[in-house]
Amino acid sequence: MKMTRRGTLVTAGTVVLGGLTIAAGLAEAQEHHPEIRRAITALEKAKQYMQNAAHDFGGHREAALKECDAAIGQLREALKYDQN
């Protein structure tokens, strides 16, 4: 079977992407608490969204931002505790 240059590039790209997917899966498998890291990321995104929003969410934005900071801090402390 003759492989074209395009076919070779597509095959190589598929192998690279597959390797990256496996590597990402292994990194997450080695992570003790991936849910906590995902929660931190989600809270950081929500905080950024609220900071840049055009409204104040019915007066709750300031408190929500403060609580996001507190939750992010506690989750980071929990991860530090687990490393010791």
Q: How many CB atoms lie within 10 A of CB 78?
A: 12
Number of domains the chain is built from: 1
Q: pLDDT tens digits, residue range 20-30? A: 566 555 555 57
Q: Would you say residue 18 lies in a domain?
A: no
Q: Is the pTM of this model over 0.75?
A: no
State which residues form the domain around 39: 32-84
Q: Examine residue 22 and state whether it is found in any structural domain, yes or no.
A: no
Sign of CA dihedral 70, 76, 82, 84: negative
How far, in whole angstroms, is CA 7 from its chain's centroid? Answer: 33
Nearest to 68 by CA among 38, 47, 82, 54: 47
Residue 72 forms part of a structural domain: yes
For residue 51, count CB atoms less than 10 angstroms from its CB and return exposed for 0-12, middle for 13-18, buried for 19 or more. Answer: exposed
Decide if 24 is inside a domain: no
Please indicate, yes or no, if residue 59 is contained in any of the structural domains. yes
Give counts: helices (H), strands (E), the chain: 3, 0
The answer to the question of residue 65 being in a domain is yes
Could you read off the pLDDT of 35-63 as tens digits, one per residue? 999 999 999 999 999 999 998 999 999 99
